[in-house]
Chain A
Amino acid sequence: MIAESGHYALVLALALALIQSVVPLIGARLRDAALMNVARSTALAQLLFVGASFVALVMLHVNSDFSVANVYENSHSMKPLLYKITGVWGNHEGSMLLWVSILALFGGLVAAFGNNLPMSLRAHVLAVQAWIASAFYLFILVTSNPFLRIASPPIEGRDLNPVLQDIGLAVHPPMLYLGYVGFSISFSFAIAALMEGRIDAAWARWVRPWTLMAWIFLTLGIAMGSYWAYYELGWGGWWFWDPVENASLMPWLAGTALLHSALVMEKRNALKVWTILLSILTFSLSLLGTFLVRSGVITSVHAFATDPTRGVFILLILCLFIGGSLSLFAGRATSLKQGGLFAPISREGALVLNNLLLTVACAVVLFGTLYPLAMEMLADFKMSVGAPFYNLTFAPLFALLLLAVPFGPMLAWKRGDLLGVTQRLLAAGVAGLVAVAIAWGWATGGSTLAPLAIGLGVFVIGGAVTDIVERTGLVRLPFATVLHRARGLPRSAWGTAFAHAGLGVALIGIVCETTWNSEYIATMKQSEVAHIAGYDVKLDGLFQRQGPNYREMIAEFNVSRDGETLSVMTPSKRSFTTRGSSTTEAALLTRGASQLYISLGDATAEGAIAVRIYHKPLVLLIWWGPVLMAFGGVLSLSDRRLRVGAPKPARAKPRLQPAE
């Protein structure tokens, strides 16, 4: 019954989405408020029904109803409850259902909190959201229905892929989807603006909070995924330039550019056409990401079972939306009036440079992701584009960007004074150079570029600090005044500083981890001691344990430094009998921002075991950086100016103010 209800709810959601796709547009054409308001109720009802459908699938998984194919293939009655729930989106069908649920959630949020939007804009936005939703409901119902029954139900399920049986699955995909799908809102706003042929600074003010929200989730989602790969795959790697990772990085790069260009549009009413284009591109890249992951055209840890019809279906959706939106853009963009003059050296100029570098970096990643696919299809040979390619292309572009980051927020709007800003950034520059010198003296081995990169990271952090110091008048003014000014500073200024500093922090972590990472790989016998980066790691013993749906072999290591015992680390190797496969559970010991990392290999006949021990200096900074960025985003989001629903226009106006 539950499965059928879930299926039925999904069909109803599709019907609602189809109504929402058409009726509000007719309403907008006829200027009929009642018809336009249909969008609001259908969006909320859609959320309700998709939500019900999603809850139904969760219940099926929790109850281990193996008469449903999806549950049979991905669950097991012995699986812990948490993984029964997270297993819902640990497979293709469930993950697509999560995708549309989040899409409906965003649509519902616009419907519920978009009261300050002009009525026809809201009608258009929700209609466009419904187009996307209809396409994906159809996709699920036609090619990937999670509610299909099996004629003769098996007694036991096939269990979830062991690698996915981890808390990471509970957090990473929902976060990532909140980001990916969140960009659909800026897309819908862009299409609505093109359809209405009207766009102004207010538009940017409405779009920015949504974009920012999506960006925060995407940032956290990517960071979380990277940390998950780091501790779960047992190789200590945190970024593989895998096409699926690139698929999430590209919308992030484009979305970051969009955040910044929307700022110019909001403040100075310039870069309108560009901002619209970026909104379209960002969501197109999210769709491309969905296509790459869901169609099975690429090999990766994320590739679920593949089925060609799905690939073709998503490709159709992709072509329809990207092609359609770009054609609309090409047709309408010229009619949007340009505004806001600025000198090349100015805050706007800096933001243009930011956009330029971000989009070009994004294009490079896109090229690296699609080139092997294209070559395989056209020239019929296989190749891979990995880290060496991106180190030679992406890294220099990003280094340029980081070099420019501290200058941006300190330049004035319209016309800036580059020399003056350089003088004010002197302290940050000196801090950077000192860091280079220290890193140079301290470091043994590694690339000569590494100290320079660390200097760059320190410069970026220093720049963010300088900006706040300047704005609050710290050093110059009495302390009480400084406090007062700090409180009076717009939250978005703090947000900028935190987000930019986060970039520097992440860069330092990345450089330290890749350059001064030490590793020890060997077979160890009982009581044998490994020496690594000043730590003594002694193998105390091996023992077996029975988990809920696996057996595990645990190795106990005693970690000491200078004769003083610090901790016991217990990496393990789990064997999942249902799937006949095993996973490596690494053990981590955190010391400050550095980590000791132990993962196990195979045990030999003599009772020795292959062991991989890494010391990763400052590795945690890699993820603290994005957390800082996201925190900056949250601060910015809480800024009064941007609060969703805050800037209420004067009541009296019966119709919207015309666009300039």
Chain B
Amino acid sequence: MTRKQRRMTIIGGSLAVLALAAGLVLNALRDSIVFFSTPTMVAEKHVAPGKRFRLGGLVQPGSLQRGDNLAVTFEVADGNAKLPVAYKGILPDLFREGQGVVAEGALDANGVFKADTVLAKHDETYMPKDVADALKKQGHWKDDYEAKPAATTAQGNPQGAVR
């Protein structure tokens, strides 16, 4: 094999691997991406039942109901709209009424969001960033969200301490 042929083999091989990777990525992008929505966006866009997405917002105070066998329902609100959510399982440690939440799942035929995951991710301010950004954009951001954990601390309120 000449030097040129050797080089061509290597370049050809590289291009083949790159093409393979590009093909895999494009294929995966078609159906493995999950979009983020707020209740308002869901109401405006008429998301089809069965289409998976992430729902973010605040847990409506007073809406949490526990059923049999770890079934829970609650409402996610963003100031303009509300969306009922059904979930079966254990809620994450940081799940609270009035706090931010991100759930992943799909709408059913009745317009209830069936969540299969309620995200345990959190940062120190107890507000998922996606939710915070969405709320800010819609003008419902209150600065005291950030101050809240500190305020709770100061009062020594054992919220969630005996649960």
Binding site for B on A (CB under 8 A): 158, 161, 233-235, 242, 296, 298-301, 303-305, 341-344, 349, 352-353, 356-357, 360-361, 363-364, 367, 381-386, 388-389, 391-393, 396-397, 521-523, 551, 573, 575, 577-584, 601-604, 610, 612
Contact = CB atoms under 8 A, between A and B. Distances in A.
A383 B158 contact: no
A577 B161 contact: yes
Contact of B93 (A386, A521, A582): A582
B163 A582 contact: yes
A579 B159 CA distance: 9
Contacts of B20: 396-397
Contacts of B163: 573, 575, 582, 602-603
Interface string B147-163: 00110110011111111
A69 to B, nearest CB: 14
A577 to B, nearest CB: 6
Contacts of B14: 356
Given A575-B158, A610-B70, A383 B93 contact: no
A382 B149 contact: no
Contacts of B159: 580
Given A301-B122, A303-B129, 9 more contacts: A349-B10, A357-B17, A393-B28, A521-B90, A573-B93, A575-B162, A580-B149, A602-B163, A603-B163
A508 to B, nearest CB: 23
Contact of A612 (B9, B28, B34, B90): B90
Contact of B160 (A357, A391, A575, A601): A575
B121 A392 contact: no
B21 interface: yes
Contact of A364 (B25, B36, B93, B125): B25
A44 B125 CA distance: 40
Most chain B CB within 10 A, of A299, A388, A392, A396, is at: A299
B1 interface: yes
B160 A581 contact: yes
Contacts of A296: 129
B128 interface: yes
A382 B134 CA distance: 9
Contact of A344 (B10, B32, B69, B93): B10
B89 A341 contact: no
Nearest to B16: A356
The DSSP consensus for interface residues of chain A is mixed
A581 B94 contact: yes
A206 B129 CA distance: 44
B18 interface: yes
Given A301-B122, A580-B149, A393 B24 contact: yes
B82 interface: no
A385 B34 CA distance: 7
A383 B129 contact: no
7 contacts: A235-B120, A303-B123, A341-B6, A363-B21, A384-B36, A386-B34, A582-B160
Given A299-B123, A301-B122, A357-B17, A579 B25 contact: no
Contacts of A523: 69-70
Interface residues on B, range: 35 or more
Contacts of B27: 392
Interface in B1-59: 1, 3, 6, 9-10, 13-14, 17-18, 20-21, 24-25, 27-29, 31-36, 54
B97 interface: no
A357 B89 CA distance: 40
Nearest to B1: A343
B34 A158 contact: no
A521 B161 contact: no
A396 B6 contact: no
A393 to B, nearest CB: 4
B93 to A, nearest CB: 5
Contacts of A602: 90-91, 163
A364 B6 contact: no
Interface in B81-111: 89-91, 93-94
B32 A392 contact: yes
A610 B125 CA distance: 26
B51 to A, nearest CB: 13
Instruction: Please provide the 10 A-B residue pairs with the shortest distance between their CB atoms, ordered closest to farther.
Output: A601-B90, A382-B36, A388-B32, A392-B28, A299-B129, A575-B161, A393-B24, A389-B32, A344-B9, A360-B21
B119 to A, nearest CB: 9
B54 to A, nearest CB: 6
A573 B156 CA distance: 19
B100 to A, nearest CB: 11
Given A233-B120, A579-B149, A601 B91 contact: yes
A157 to B, nearest CB: 11
Contacts of A299: 121, 123, 128-130
B36 to A, nearest CB: 4
A444 B122 CA distance: 36
Nearest to A162: B93
A584 B93 CA distance: 7
Interface string B128-155: 1110011000000000000001101100
Contact of B121 (A300, A304, A342): A300
A555 to B, nearest CB: 13
A381 B36 contact: yes
Nearest to B27: A392
A352 B10 contact: yes
B123 to A, nearest CB: 5
A299 B122 CA distance: 8
Nearest to A394: B24
Given A363-B21, A397-B21, A397-B24, A234 B1 contact: no
B60 to A, nearest CB: 19
Nearest to B133: A382
A464 to B, nearest CB: 24
Contact of A522 (B3, B18, B69, B161): B69
A603 B90 CA distance: 11
B34 A343 contact: no
B121 A610 contact: no
A578 B35 CA distance: 36
A551 B9 contact: no
